[in-house]
Each structure stands twice: as C-alpha cells, then as structure tokens.
C-alpha cells in the first residue's frame, strides 16, 4: 500500500434495518482524491442476500444518517454540501423522488421518526443571542460588511474541535412534519447541546439528554435525562427524569411498552470511568445499572449508539474487550450477567436490529469494514466493497502477544511483520494510540498497512490507562496525588507497558532490528512519543503528532477540553498544584531529547492546539537538536482519520520520508 491508495478506500457505516427486517440501509463513503473530498451515499441490501446491494442515492454529496419510518415505507436521511445541510425523505420500494423537509446552515443529525410515521425530530445548531449591552446592527451589503459582534463566554467548554465556538450556537431540538411541507418547529432551544432524541411509543414526548441549565452546571457538565412534550401547554419544556447525581446520561431509547428508558450512564465521581448500560423509569427515578459486574466499557469510541431493545426484557449493546469490540446482551431486570451476542477477533463498528435481523459492520486486522446480517443465528456477508482493494493489496495478519506488564498482570500487544526478503532484519515502528481512554481495536488500519508495506515491522499495544480491560486498569495512570484511585500518572506504568511491548516483540522475533526502532503516535500517543524520547535514547527517530506536550498550558485554557484534567487527575488542579502538571509534561524534559524528531500538527486543532508543538519545536531548535516541523492548514485534531484526502496522503508521505531517512525503510512512491 502506498499513500495514494488512501484514495481507494470505501467504507460502509451506520447500518439501519427496516422494521420488517428484510432490508438494510447503510452509508457508503468513498475517498475522492482528485476532488479532495469525501462522497457518501445510501445503499440498500437485502438481509437474506437474495439480491445484490444497490445504491439508493447517487453518492455525489455527503448523504448520511439513514432512518426508517416505522411503517417501513420511507427512509429519511441528511445531505450536506458546503454551507447547506438538508433533511430529506424518500420512498423505498415504490416510485418517488427524495423530498426536502428542512434546510439549515448547520449540520443536521439525530433523526428520530414519530411512531405514526408523520413527524421527524432532529438536532441542529441554533444561534443563541448573547444577553448584554450589545447592539447588533443588521448585516450590510457584501461590499460593506458589518463587523461581527463580540461573543460572550458565559460557561466552560465553549468550543469544540472540528466545530469551533459552540457557546453561542448550541445544538437544539427541532420537529418537522413528513407529509405536508412546512418549516421545522424549534422545540427546545437550550443553553447546552441537546442530544439525540428518542420518541415515546405513544408519540407524545421525546427523551433527550442535556446538561441542566442550573448555576455552575458547566463546572461538571453532567448530563441529565429529560422528557419533552411535543404538544400542549408544556410543549418544549425540559422535564428532568434523573435527580441530582454525579452520573451523566446519554443515548436514550424507550422500551416498547413505554415504561422505561435504556441509557448509557457514566459515573463522573471518579474519572475516568466506563459508560454502563442502565434503565430509568419513564416516570423518573434512579437508574438501575445492568453492566456493573461486566467491568468493561459499554460506550465504545467507535460506533457508540443507544442500546437496542429486544422486546421489553433484553438490551443489545457493544463493549470494548481486549482489543475486540463484540456485541452483548443483558436482561433489563438485572437478574443475569451480560452475555455474548456476536464476537470474534474483530471490531463491530456499527450495528442495528429489527424484525429478527441483526445488521453489523465488521472489520478485522486483515479486512476493511463490510456489512453483514445475522438471521436465525447465521451470519451472512452482504457487501464486498473492498474486495478489489484486498486482492491488489493483501493484508498480513498481525500476531497477538500477551505481554507481562511491569505494573502487574498482562497487556495486549500485536506485531505486524513486513514482507521482507529472507535473512533481512526489519526496522521497527512502535505505535502508541491516543486517548488515553480508548484502545487499539482488532481492525484494519490504513497506517499500519502503509508502514508494513514500506518494510517496517509494526508493534502496538493497549497499555495501562486504555479501555478494553477493567476500570481499575483504566484508572491506573491517575497521578499519585489523586484524592482516590491514585495511580502512577501519565508516563508511569503506561510508558513501562509500551516499552515492555517493544521488548517482547524484539525478543519474540530475532528478524527485527533493535538498532533501527522508531516511535510515533498522535494526541496522547504524541504525548507518549515525546515522553519516551525525553526519558530514553533507545529510539533512532520519533514522530510526535497533535501531541499533548504541555499539560499545564492545555489546562490553563489552550484546549477545548480545558478544565477536564482536574477530573482525570483526581481533583488535582492546575491552580493548586501546577507542579504536578509540569512534572507530567514532556516539554519539561526537552533538554533530554537527543532523538531526531518529526512534529506534525494542524492549524485548527482545538483539542491540542498548535502551541503544543510550537513549544517543543522552539525548545529543540534553541537546543540545536534534530527536529522537523510540519503544520497542516484548515485541519483539526482528526487530520489522520478525517482530514482532507490530499492532506492525509501528504501526511503519510512526510512520515514515510522521515523514517526512510532515519531507519532505512522504503520512501513513499514518487508521484
């Protein structure tokens, strides 16, 4: 695989099963390298594989968010073009063209049909006028534009990576009819983002999760579960169902009988903590947690969605489990421990169930995502979007290693070998995931395919602090100064684990060259990369990308998540203990870095702003060290995963060129 092969990637996602279980709508996204954009369309697959999948929309724009009407006759979806976002509905299985129900300047998401198939609820950002002594004049002609008014910041977390300022444009809840064209009705305009809605079975109300508009609610950002009447005297008013608690709720779904709501619940009393599946009485009350004994993350980083009801007695949900991402089920009365539904050495990145059909999008280390259906316990592959890609560029299977951790127990690690001539020793790239509260999944990964194709053995692991293991494992890197559940701090047992995985791979396979080892990672992985080369000289080169190099400046307001470390660090704030943040910041040890470094960052990154790379670059240049620095314009924190196609190709070319010069791997192909 070469960087330009990124332009061949086709990815299905967000499967939705028709109410009768006969068909599955799925989003299919293609990379258009020439146009430097992504194009996505909707496809329809027969759940019994009796006919080949076919496109429902042309896929020239960005079609997404499919949602079946409860009567099974229509499909709602969104279509986005630059500056224009539309909600459409189209007939399925009969004549007719898509009809535009709403058009907005902001993206539309969270589509939810009313039970009688006559209305759609959705969320979209809506301007919130700032209270204060500011006169806002009317917009002037294009040749004489009026200056933008000042923006009042009246809460913490006022911006979001990839979206910019959100404090004055929170996500609001809208309602639109599907039979008679009429402008959408603004149902809930709130100070904070309103989450994806869920209809009650009687069609009278919607359940949503949002932060209550209470004094100092922004200090914790704990979301409560609410009901909203859609008609009547109290229409649009948020009625809170959950009491004062440290538990934050999201992704609600009503039971078929309307008496309970399933939610994902995260107890923020000790952060980090897992998302758990819980049920809450529809009349309000305390949640009943159903997955506490499971002790696994039930709100996966990829493909998180509301739990799915199987009748009134069972729920289906996804978990992260030692690198895999299987589906589980649990009884809603709490009388049984969760059990498996569908697993294997793979990641289920999207799923839905209706009418006896379970639809899944799955990926493994050797296969890109594809759609499958499970009916009567039999799984059938329905698509082969990447068949030609894998035929031309077959993937090698990595070897799974269980590695002893210096902190106790074992961690999961993997070794992907390159196709090198017999007798040659391969250079090694040690890759560290971001987060840290996530996991490397057992999935096909474009970066690993690129590095292996260039002749590198690739090593990666899920160290302490990752998901996929227990909550104690997750919390083990809280600082020693934490008020409870104290750990080693970032750069402690997690760094030991990463090095242990490398040592285990080198000992396991003598064809790996210990003298030509590089390390790379992004975000927290960038933190770990910078941390390792500031504490050891064993690496021949390092690439630190969108890194968190100075935790103190991040918490002082540099990040869109500024203020969050005080939770993750167990009550240790940058105001009371700046020394802790300084001690845990890699930039503090810049003078100890002697490894050649490549720094990559995006101009519009709000999660780890560019000053994080600027500070390290300045220090290394002043110290006369070997450092290269590249900045990507018009990109945010998600460059490597969702940046513009050309920037993703250029990024891969830069990384391959850097390590070719320092480790001797193959440079990127010319042209």
* Segments of 18-115 assigned E as strands: 23-32, 37-46, 54-55, 62-68, 74-81, 84-91, 99-104, 108-113
Lowest mean pLDDT among 356-365, 419-428, 601-610: 419-428
396-663 carries CATH number 3.40.50.1820 = yes
Lowest mean pLDDT among 177-181, 479-483, 515-519, 577-581: 177-181
Q: Could you tell me the end-to-end alpha-carbon distance of the chain, in angstroms, rounded to an integer? A: 14
DSSP H or E run through 390: helix 387-392
Asked if pLDDT for residue 56 goes beyond 70, the answer is: yes
Q: Whose CA is closest to 629, among 651, 668, 599, 593?
A: 599
d(CA 550, CA 584): 8
Lowest mean pLDDT among 55-69, 144-158, 438-452, 650-664: 144-158
* Residues 274-318: tens digit of each pLDDT: 999 999 999 999 999 999 999 999 999 888 999 999 999 999 999
Q: Whose CA is closest to 583, among 595, 603, 597, 569?
A: 569
Predicted local distance difference test score (pLDDT) of residue 94: 78
* Residues 211-253: tens digit of each pLDDT: 999 999 999 999 999 999 999 999 999 999 999 999 999 999 9
421: pLDDT confidence band, cut at 50, 70 and 90? low
Predicted local distance difference test score (pLDDT) of residue 181: 80
Mean pLDDT of 418-432: 87
Asked if pLDDT for residue 419 goes beyond 90, the answer is: no
- 209 alpha carbon, distance to own chain's centre: 19
Asked if pLDDT for residue 84 goes beyond 80, the answer is: yes
Mean pLDDT of 104-125: 98
Burial class (CB in 10 A: 0-12, 13-18, 19+), 414: buried
Mean pLDDT of 391-416: 97
139: pLDDT confidence band, cut at 50, 70 and 90? low
140: pLDDT confidence band, cut at 50, 70 and 90? low
What is the DSSP code string of 510-560? TTEEEEEEEEEEETHHHHHHHHHHTT----SEEEEES----HHHIIIIIST
- 13 alpha carbon, distance to own chain's centre: 13
29: pLDDT confidence band, cut at 50, 70 and 90? very high
Query: Which is more confidently placed, 539 or 150?
Result: 539
Mean pLDDT of 170-186: 95
Predicted local distance difference test score (pLDDT) of residue 135: 74
* Residues 622-666: tens digit of each pLDDT: 999 999 999 999 999 999 999 999 999 999 999 999 999 999 999
95: pLDDT confidence band, cut at 50, 70 and 90? confident
Predicted local distance difference test score (pLDDT) of residue 671: 61
> In the chain, pLDDT over 90 holds for what percent of residues?
93
Cβ atoms of 492 and 516 within 8 Å: the answer is: no
| DSSP 8-class letter at 485 | S
* Residues 486-512: tens digit of each pLDDT: 999 999 999 999 999 999 999 999 999
Asked if pLDDT for residue 163 goes beyond 80, the answer is: yes
Burial class (CB in 10 A: 0-12, 13-18, 19+), 594: middle
* Residues 592-624: tens digit of each pLDDT: 999 999 999 999 999 999 999 999 999 999 999
Asked if pLDDT for residue 113 goes beyond 90, the answer is: yes
Cβ atoms of 444 and 366 within 8 Å: the answer is: yes
Q: Whose CA is closest to 375, among 348, 395, 357, 354?
A: 357
* Mean per-residue pLDDT of the chain: 96
What is the DSSP code string of 85-113? EEEEEEESSSS---EEEEEESS-EEEEEE
Q: Whose CA is closest to 303, among 322, 289, 316, 290?
A: 316
Predicted local distance difference test score (pLDDT) of residue 133: 80
Predicted local distance difference test score (pLDDT) of residue 147: 84
Asked if pLDDT for residue 591 goes beyond 80, the answer is: yes
* Residues 474-484: tens digit of each pLDDT: 999 999 999 99
């Amino acid at each position: 695989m070469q960087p330009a092969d990124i332009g061949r990637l086709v990815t299905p996602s967000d499967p939705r099963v028709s109410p009768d279980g006969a068909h599955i709508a799925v989003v299919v996204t293609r990379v258009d390298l020439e146009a430097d954009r992504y194009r996505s369309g909707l496809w329809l697959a027969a759940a019994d594989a009796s006919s080949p999948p076919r496109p429902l929309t042309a896929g020239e724009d960005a079609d997404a968010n499919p949602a079946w009407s409860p009567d099974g006759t229509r499909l709602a979806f969104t279509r986005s073009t630059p500056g224009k976002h539309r909600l459409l509905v189209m007939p399925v299985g009969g004549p007719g063209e898509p009809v535009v129900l709403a058009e907005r300047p902001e993206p539309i998401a969270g589509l939810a049909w009313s039970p009688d198939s006559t209305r759609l609820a959705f969320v979209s950002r809506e301007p919130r006028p700032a209270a204060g002594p500011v006169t806002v004049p009317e917009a002037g002609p294009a040749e004489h534009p009026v200056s933008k008014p000042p923006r009042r910041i009246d809460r913490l977390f006022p911006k979001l990576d990839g979206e910019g300022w959100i404090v004055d444009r929170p996500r609001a809840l809208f309602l639109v009819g599907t039979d008679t064209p009429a402008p959408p009705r603004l149902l809930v305009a709130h100070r904070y983002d309103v989450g994806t809605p869920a209809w009650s079975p009687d069609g009278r109300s919607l359940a949503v999760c949002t932060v209550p508009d209470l004094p100092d609610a922004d200090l914790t950002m704990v979301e409560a579960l609410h009901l909203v009447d859609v008609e009547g005297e109290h229409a649009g008013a948020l009625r809170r169902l959950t009491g004062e608690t440290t538990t934050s709720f999201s992704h609600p779904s009503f039971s078929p009988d309307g008496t309970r709501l399933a939610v994902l619940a995260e107890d923020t009393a000790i952060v980090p903590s897992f998302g758990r599946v819980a049920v809450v009485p529809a009349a309000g009350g305390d949640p009943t947690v159903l997955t506490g004994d499971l002790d696994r993350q039930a709100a996966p980083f990829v493909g998180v969605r509301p739990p799915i009801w199987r009748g009134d007695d069972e729920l289906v949900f996804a978990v992260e489990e030692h690198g895999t991402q299987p589906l589980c089920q649990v009884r809603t009365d709490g009388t049984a421990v969760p059990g498996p539904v569908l697993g294997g050495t793979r990641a289920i990145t999207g799923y839905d169930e209706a009418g006896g059909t379970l639809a899944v999008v799955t990926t493994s280390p050797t296969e890109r995502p594809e759609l499958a259906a499970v009916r009567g316990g039999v799984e059938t592959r329905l698509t082969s979007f990447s068949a030609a890609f894998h035929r031309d560029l077959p993937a090698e299977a990595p070897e799974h290693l269980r590695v002893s951790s210096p902190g106790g127990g074992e961690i999961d690690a993997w070794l992907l070998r390159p196709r090198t001539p017999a007798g040659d020793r391969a250079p090694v790239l040690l890759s560290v995931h971001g987060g840290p509260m996530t996991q490397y999944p057992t999935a096909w990964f474009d970066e690993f395919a690129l590095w292996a194709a260039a002749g590198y053995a690739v090593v990666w692991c899920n160290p302490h602090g990752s998901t996929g293991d227990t909550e104690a494992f997750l919390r083990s890197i809280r600082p020693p100064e934490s008020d409870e559940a104290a750990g080693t701090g970032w750069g402690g047992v997690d760094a030991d684990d990463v090095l242990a995985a490398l040592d285990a791979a080198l000992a396991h396979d003598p064809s790996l060259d210990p003298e030509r080892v590089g390390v790379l990672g992004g975000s927290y992985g960038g933190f770990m990369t910078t941390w390792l080369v500031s504490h050891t000289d064993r690496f021949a080169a390092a690439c630190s990308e969108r890194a968190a190099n100075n935790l103190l400046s991040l918490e002082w307001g540099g990040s869109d998540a500024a203020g969050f470390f005080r939770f993750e660090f167990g009550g240790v704030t940058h105001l009371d203990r700046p020394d802790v943040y300084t001690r845990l910041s890699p930039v503090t040890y810049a003078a100890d870095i002697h490894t050649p470094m490549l720094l990559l960052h995006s101009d519009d990154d709000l999660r780890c702003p560019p000053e994080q790379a600027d500070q390290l670059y300045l220090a290394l240049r002043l110290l006369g060290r070997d450092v290269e620095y590249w900045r990507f314009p018009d990109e945010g924190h998600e460059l490597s995963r969702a940046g513009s196609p050309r920037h993703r190709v250029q990024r891969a070319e830069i990384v391959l060129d850097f390590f070719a010069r320092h480790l001797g791997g193959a440079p990127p192909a010319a042209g």
